[in-house]
Amino acid sequence: MSQETTGTKPQGAERGTHDLEPGHMSIDHSHGKVVAETPDSLNGLKVANPEHKAAGLPAVLRATQYVWSKAGVVRGTYALSFLNQKGGIDCMSCAWPDPDGDRSFAEFCENGAKAIGHEADTRKCGPEFFAAHSVAELSTRSDYWLEQQGRLTHPMVLRTGATHYEPISWDDAFGLMASELNKLATPDAASFYTSGRASNEAAFLYQLFVRQFGTNNLPDCSNMCHESSGSALTPTIGIGKGTVTLEDFTMADAIFILGQNPGTNHPRMLTTLEQAKKKGCTIVAINPLPEAGLLGFMNPQKPLGMLGKSTKLADLFLPVKINGDVALLKGIMKEMLEDERRAPGTVFDWNFIRDHTHGVEELIANIEASSWEKIVEDCALSRAQIRAAAEVAIRSQRIIACWAMGLTQHQNAVETIQEIVNLLLLRGSMGKPGAGACPVRGHSNVQGDRTMGIWERPGKEFLDSLQKNFDFEPPRHHGLDVVESIKAMHDGRLKVFIQLGGNFLSATPDTRYVQEGLSKLDLTVRIGTKLNRTDLITGKQALILPCLGRSEIDRRPGGEQFVSSENSMGVVQSSKGRLEPASDELRSEVAIIGGIAQATLDYAPDSVGSTPRTDASASGKAVRSADPTKVNRGTRSNVAWSEFSDDYDHIRDAIARTIKGCENYNQQVRKPGGFYLPNHARNNEYVTATGKANFTVNPIPERHIEPGQLILMTIRSHDQFNTTIYGLHDRYRGIHNERRVIFMNKDDMAERRLETKQTVNITSHFNGQTRHAPHFIIVPYQIPKGCCAVYFPEGNLLVPIGSVAARSNTPVSKYVKVTVEPARIEGKFDYERVDGALKVNE
């Protein structure tokens, strides 16, 4: 039975930062005082013992409770019946793939159910709401509160000097955007961000518009998560994606999971791991924090799972020190090398190495030169623990390595992932069933967006294809990624920022710095389904453009439309909405992009050929007689944007002509379950500079930690997905009713004379700069000494904008040097500890 301790709820917490605002940076562009970061009021923490198993009946109850409370029993249950079914609604949460064959009647997890409930919300956030709440007032509310106000229903504008958003017509909104874009001195003064929820059709149309406008400024959420994976894999195996399929997991001898928490971030992966276990697979979990999902899994699809019977998943758990992964991997390979020397040909797959790889001699020399003292010190694991992991690798012929943002958000992230590739190549675990690399993507279509051309550094082959198929010269210079866009806002190079989905402010590092940059812009625009903090930190003018969710019926002049997306394993599948839209004013992402493009690029079709003729075919499907990419040229574009917007088959035909591997896209995506994109590495074909898979030499990173400093990483709670907060609980870690917590090692607490549930301030240190985050409550936790963790976005203001991964430019959110000191809340209240709980003193 778990034990609970309860802290009293601070009086006046609902008042947000009105009474409690130490250190807040605010801006005033005549909208009133606007606060960028999540208000630091506390809610009343309850702490229980961490769980040692995940899912089961509690997950089912929590999921259904959430869906029914937001969407209603009938609407919510109806939506769930189509979630992840063939021809149904592709989950808008994570990108874990669906089975190719038969699917369960409930082919979704707690995360997916929450995402459906969140999107199918029957509450409305319309003009009346914005009339009643100023932007300054809304900024004092929590991220959770903002998204709980319901679905956005009308286009809204925040005009220069206004304190409130007000309604605007779609045509006027497009006209405002066109005016601001067209008066720019250069197209590069605008940047166009994309979230991973955008469909393939929307992403392709978006990048086409942006490049016809004249820039490659296409930052996306991949810049902040798996950019390091692509930067590591492309030069080593010739493709920036994973190489395994779902079926491979059932054939693997061993699965190494590094820097990933499947139970919270990719719960359906637990079913796949359970299936692998039943086939005899050994699972090694490598993470600073023990995660319930990898310790035990209660399969909710099975009676015993519903009754609490769990399957132990991880055979070996290695609590590596934050960013100690290179040292650990090098230690594993050093153990392998010593065994190979004792019995040549028994550990390394020399046939594979000779036939398919390059550079093994340099790697072996580096492994030999690496000292055990340095390895053990850096990963904070014993030789025995490292040896246990090495023995798993040595006896396994087929190894899959999975990782997520626990690896990708470090300064040396690219080198860490390339060290994983080294391990796989030494064992010949590439290009064969049951083996390979598996970067587990977070957002549902972040991988598809990149395939569709959302990238600030497009290759020549893709740009040449755009030029050929759309008869224009696309920009060839590299554009701005996320971090570069933020810096360009600051120094005045950017004037307009348009966001296709997401919550840019809360997702990015260095919150106050980003706030300053956004406030300098002339126009900010966000296309989305719900209100979030980015809508409150704006340029001189701002637009909120409400769009259909993936679960909603998309009615266009060409009939009801469907879209498509790509999962973590390169499968492209269709998704068709089934619910009535939240408002008649909503437009699809595709229709919104088409409207912006047509208004901005001044396209004016002639009467001849401007509308495709449709005839009934034998199958009943319309036959198009006009090609929208070749309709009459307007003043700046030869694309009939409205026709793309009216019938998405036009877009898919254009994708088929433009993107290699997407031939016959319309036909293939209509197949039940979709189709696989080409992946040469799966066939031992490596499109690299050497024509082979490349070993690399990656040094163990040097640590320069000052006395008293800890290494902090940001993490997600179980009640959130990316920046979307579903609730205030993290039940697998035993945290309830609070998000402003810091997980600390007990020895680190004792050294600093800090106590359980004490309120502290956190200061980050980078290149002589300091950043401050007030009022976090200490929770002692099983985390390596010298390490600590906080949730994001609350901890994002501690992450320096200048701290990025080499080569990928990804913000380093998993390695932040911090100091922690007792807090005294300034203003009306302060806190003291009474019997281990917080007491408010007036």
**Per-residue pLDDT tens over the stretch 672-715:** 999 999 999 999 999 999 999 999 999 999 989 999 999 999 99
State whether 324 and 280 are in the same domain.
yes
> 343-347, 658-662, 670-674, 720-724: which range is least confident on average?
720-724
Percent of the chain with pLDDT over 70: 90
Q: Mean pLDDT throughout 205-217?
A: 98
State whether 251 and 110 are in the same domain.
no
Question: Rounded distance, CA 5 to CA 458, Å?
Answer: 53
- Specify the long-range contacts of residues 356-361, CB closer than 8 Å, at least 24 apart: 356/430, 356/431, 356/684, 356/686, 356/692, 356/693, 357/425, 357/692, 357/693, 357/694, 357/695, 358/690, 358/692, 358/693, 358/694, 358/695, 359/690, 359/694, 359/695, 359/696, 359/697, 360/425, 360/426, 360/695
The two counts, helices (H) then strands (E), for the chain are 30, 39
User: From the CB of residue 129, how many other CB atoms can be counted at a distance below 10 Å?
Assistant: 18
CA 710 from chain center: how many Å?
26
How high does pLDDT run on average in the chain? Answer: 88
Assign 636 a pLDDT band (cuts: 50, 70, 90): confident
State whether 380 and 241 are in the same domain.
yes
State whether 212 and 105 are in the same domain.
no
Coil, helix or strand at residue 760: strand
Question: Rounded distance, CA 310 to CA 565, Å?
Answer: 33
User: Is residue 696 one of the residues assigned to a domain?
Assistant: no
- Tell me, what's the pLDDT at 825? 58
- Tell me, what's the pLDDT at 31? 53
Q: Mean pLDDT throughout 167-190?
A: 97
Residue 586's alpha-carbon distances to 104, 126, 504, in angstroms, are 32, 11, 21
Identify the burial level of 344 via C-beta atoms within 10 angstroms of its C-beta, where 0-12 means exposed, 13-18 middle and 19 or more buried: exposed
Q: Which helix (H) or strand (E) holds 439?
A: strand 436-439
Assign 544 a pLDDT band (cuts: 50, 70, 90): very high
User: Is residue 670 one of the residues assigned to a domain?
Assistant: no
Question: Rounded distance, CA 474 to CA 476, Å?
Answer: 6
Q: Is residue 639 within 8 Å of 217, Cβ to Cβ?
A: no
Assign 265 a pLDDT band (cuts: 50, 70, 90): confident
Q: Mean pLDDT throughout 154-164?
A: 97
807-825 CB burial, b ≥16 within 10 A, e <16 = bbbbbbbbbbbbbbeebeb
- Tell me, what's the pLDDT at 35? 67
Percent of the chain with pLDDT over 90: 74
**pLDDT at residue 66 tops 80:** yes
Residues 6+ apart with CB under 8 A from 652: 201, 564, 665, 666, 669
- Tell me, what's the pLDDT at 231? 97
- Tell me, what's the pLDDT at 16? 28
Tell me the per-residue pLDDT of 218-250, one tens digit each, with 9 for 90 and over.
Answer: 999 999 999 999 999 999 999 999 999 999 999
- Tell me, what's the pLDDT at 57? 79
Q: How many domains does the chain have?
A: 4
Question: Rounded distance, CA 441 to CA 403, Å?
Answer: 9
Q: Is residue 452 within 8 Å of 203, Cβ to Cβ?
A: yes
Q: Is residue 230 within 8 Å of 430, Cβ to Cβ?
A: no
Q: What angle do CA 266, 201, 576 make, to 5 degrees?
A: 65
**pLDDT at residue 326 tops 80:** yes
At 665, list the tokens.
Answer: 């896209």
Q: Mean pLDDT throughout 268-284?
A: 94
Q: Mean pLDDT throughout 786-790?
A: 98
State whether 398 and 499 are in the same domain.
no
Q: Which helix (H) or strand (E) holds 743?
A: strand 741-744
Name the domain boundary from 389, 414, 439.
439
Name the domain boundary from 609, 629, 663.
663
Q: Mean pLDDT throughout 411-420?
A: 98
Identify the burial level of 834 via C-beta atoms within 10 angstroms of its C-beta, where 0-12 means exposed, 13-18 middle and 19 or more buried: exposed
Question: Rounded distance, CA 230 to CA 220, Å?
Answer: 14
User: Is residue 623 one of the residues assigned to a domain?
Assistant: yes
Question: Rounded distance, CA 712 to CA 765, Å?
Answer: 11
**pLDDT at residue 33 tops 60:** yes
Q: Indicate which CATH number applies to the domain containing 421.
A: 3.40.228.10
Q: Which helix (H) or strand (E) holds 367?
A: helix 360-369
Question: Rounded distance, CA 535 to CA 531, Å?
Answer: 7
Assign 83 a pLDDT band (cuts: 50, 70, 90): confident
State whether 544 and 640 are in the same domain.
yes
State whether 432 and 510 are in the same domain.
no
User: Is residue 132 one of the residues assigned to a domain?
Assistant: yes
Residue 158's alpha-carbon distances to 246, 266, 526, in angstroms, are 46, 37, 12
User: From the CB of residue 13, how many other CB atoms can be counted at a distance below 10 Å?
Assistant: 18
Q: What angle do CA 637, 640, 646 make, to 5 degrees?
A: 150
State whether 272 and 404 are in the same domain.
yes
Q: Indicate which CATH number applies to the domain containing 826.
A: 2.40.40.20
Q: Is residue 24 within 8 Å of 37, Cβ to Cβ?
A: yes
State whether 396 and 418 are in the same domain.
yes
> 323-327, 637-641, 679-683, 692-696: which range is least confident on average?
637-641
Coil, helix or strand at residue 757: coil
State whether 835 and 760 are in the same domain.
yes
Tokens 């031992």 correspond to what residue? 684
Structural domain boundaries enclosing 817: 5-27+35-47+709-841
Q: Mean pLDDT throughout 485-489?
A: 98
Residue scoring higher pLDDT (24 or 553): 553
Assign 39 a pLDDT band (cuts: 50, 70, 90): confident
User: Is residue 553 one of the residues assigned to a domain?
Assistant: yes
User: Is residue 89 one of the residues assigned to a domain?
Assistant: yes
Q: Of how many residues is the chain composed?
A: 842
Q: Is residue 190 within 8 Å of 600, Cβ to Cβ?
A: no
State whether 340 and 303 are in the same domain.
yes
State whether 477 and 536 are in the same domain.
yes
Name the domain boundary from 97, 119, 141.
119
Q: Mean pLDDT throughout 24-52?
A: 70
Residues 6+ apart with CB under 8 A from 212: 470, 472, 474, 597, 601, 636, 637, 639
Q: Mean pLDDT throughout 794-798?
A: 96
User: Is residue 776 one of the residues assigned to a domain?
Assistant: yes
- Tell me, what's the pLDDT at 615? 30
Question: Rounded distance, CA 202 to CA 209, Å?
Answer: 11
Question: Rounded distance, CA 583 to CA 578, Å?
Answer: 14
User: Is residue 632 one of the residues assigned to a domain?
Assistant: yes
Q: Is residue 800 within 8 Å of 767, Cβ to Cβ?
A: yes
Q: What are phi and psi of 478, to 5 degrees?
A: -65, 145
Question: Rounded distance, CA 637 to CA 604, Å?
Answer: 9
Identify the burial level of 485 via C-beta atoms within 10 angstroms of its C-beta, where 0-12 means exposed, 13-18 middle and 19 or more buried: buried
86-116 CB burial, b ≥16 within 10 A, e <16 = bebbbbbbbbbbbbeeeeeebbbbbbbbbbb
Q: Mean pLDDT throughout 402-415?
A: 96
